[in-house]
């Protein structure tokens, strides 16, 4: 068995230990209360997260993938509908479209940011297009205004994937109420992470929110009365209580991430670095991603020095067997897949740790 890394990519134990007392109290409150599904803890978290996002409604669901699927369902996406998605993202963005019954249509990304390129989106619109699904990748908001303009011009739905953007802003507005619906993941490794799976959808649309509440609960708003062909996807009371605790620490944790990102940017300027904000808002720094033509060798070099890194993402969705589209269609996305490397970043990391990472990278370069 290999030794644990000297500098882990993300130390979930340290993050949890920092708020352990609050988490124990919250979970004990749920256990003692005896209400475990669709209860007061979920209502409290939904209200708090909606307020944080500047949205009128929040609907907690079982996972980030479910949040995407249910947002698309609630927006009316179904069989035969095309949804434009970025070619550089986690596969869940594409899978959500297929699970909703639609067809994902890839569009290339801006090579400087990895974010969905509005020009590529405009070129991908067809008579069958019903929605655009951008991703606020790595913690940076996509160009929502440009995408909204395209959506409005063609009467399309705009649903955004904010699984990596907890606490990010766009032109002074928090991510979460910029689109018709915003899908969130609370997977443990996220900036706002549960102690298991969880997700939510935020929206300003009361009718869409009501459909979401029914869809997550068997298509029902009244027990044994099923108006829609829904599913079972509900953020449970324990995870909602955990998320309420961790939400109180999100701003501070994101400040720590930002300080580390600034340190990396100072020290690693010669590398291909992510834009800090693209002039559009506050980066949540869920990931700090560099580009290097010898990415695999650099990753091995860092691993040999006890520095854990990850690749987000080595195979673009369109090249996965699940979709199996030809290579070469999205050159920027494919170039990113071959060169990106995610460095350790998180509230657990110290400035000294960041300097160790930088020293090791400079030794390789």
Per-residue pLDDT of the chain (365 residues; tens, 9 = 90+): 566 779 999 999 999 999 999 999 999 999 999 999 999 999 999 999 999 999 999 999 999 999 999 999 999 999 999 999 999 999 999 999 999 999 999 999 999 899 999 999 999 999 999 999 999 999 999 999 999 999 999 999 999 999 999 999 999 999 999 999 999 999 999 999 999 999 999 999 999 999 999 999 999 999 999 999 999 999 999 999 999 999 999 999 999 999 999 999 999 987 777 665 556 889 999 999 999 999 999 999 999 999 999 999 999 999 999 999 999 999 999 999 999 999 999 999 999 999 999 999 999 96
d(CA 28, CA 31): 5
d(CA 8, CA 346): 10
What sign for the dihedral angle of Cα 255, 148, 137, 52? positive
Q: Report the predicted TM-score, pTM, of the whole model to 2 decimal places.
A: 0.96
d(CA 46, CA 274): 32
Q: Which helix (H) or strand (E) holds 161?
A: strand 157-161
List the beta bridge partners of residue 60.
200
- CA contacts within 13 A on the Cβ side of 314: 6
Give the helix, strand, coil percentages of the chain, each rounded to 5: 40, 15, 40
Tell me the H-state helices in the chain: 12-18, 20-33, 40-53, 64-74, 92-99, 118-124, 144-153, 206-216, 237-267, 295-304, 331-339, 351-364
């Amino acid at each position: 068995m290999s030794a644990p890394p000297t500098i882990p990519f993300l130390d979930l134990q340290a993050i949890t230990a920092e708020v352990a007392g609050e988490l124990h109290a919250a979970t004990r409150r749920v256990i003692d209360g005896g209400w475990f599904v669709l209860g007061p803890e979920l209502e409290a978290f939904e209200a708090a997260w909606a307020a944080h996002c500047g949205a009128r409604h929040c609907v907690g669901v079982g996972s980030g993938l479910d949040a995407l699927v249910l947002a698309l369902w609630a927006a009316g996406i179904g069989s035969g509908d095309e949804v434009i998605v970025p070619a550089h993202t986690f596969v869940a963005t594409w899978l959500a479209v297929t699970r909703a019954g639609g067809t994902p249509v890839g569009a290339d990304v801006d090579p400087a940011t990895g974010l969905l390129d509005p020009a590529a989106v405009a070129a991908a619109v067809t008579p069958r297009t019903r929605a655009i699904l951008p991703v606020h990748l790595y913690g940076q908001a996509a160009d929502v205004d440009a995408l909204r303009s395209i959506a409005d011009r063609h009467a399309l739905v705009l649903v955004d994937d904010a699984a990596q953007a907890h606490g990010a802003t766009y032109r002074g507005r928090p991510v979460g109420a910029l689109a018709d619906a915003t899908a969130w993941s609370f997977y443990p490794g996220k900036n706002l992470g549960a102690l298991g799976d969880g997700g939510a959808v935020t929206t300003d649309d009361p009718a869409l929110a009501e459909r979401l509440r029914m869809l997550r609960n068997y298509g029902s708003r009244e027990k044994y009365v099923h108006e829609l062909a829904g599913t079972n996807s509900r953020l449970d009371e324990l995870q909602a209580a955990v998320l309420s605790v961790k939400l109180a620490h999100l701003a501070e944790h994101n400040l720590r991430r930002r300080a580390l990102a600034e340190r990396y940017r100072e020290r690693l300027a010669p590398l291909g670095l992510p834009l800090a904000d693209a002039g559009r808002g506050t980066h949540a720094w869920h990931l700090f991603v560099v580009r290097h033509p010898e990415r695999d060798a650099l990753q091995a070099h860092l691993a040999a020095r006890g520095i854990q890194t990850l690749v987000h993402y080595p195979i673009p969705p369109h090249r996965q067997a699940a979709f199996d589209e030809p290579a070469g269609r999205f050159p920027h996305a494919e170039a990113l897949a071959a060169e990106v490397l995610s460095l350790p970043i998180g509230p657990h990391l110290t400035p000294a740790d960041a300097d160790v990472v930088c020293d090791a990278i400079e030794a390789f370069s």
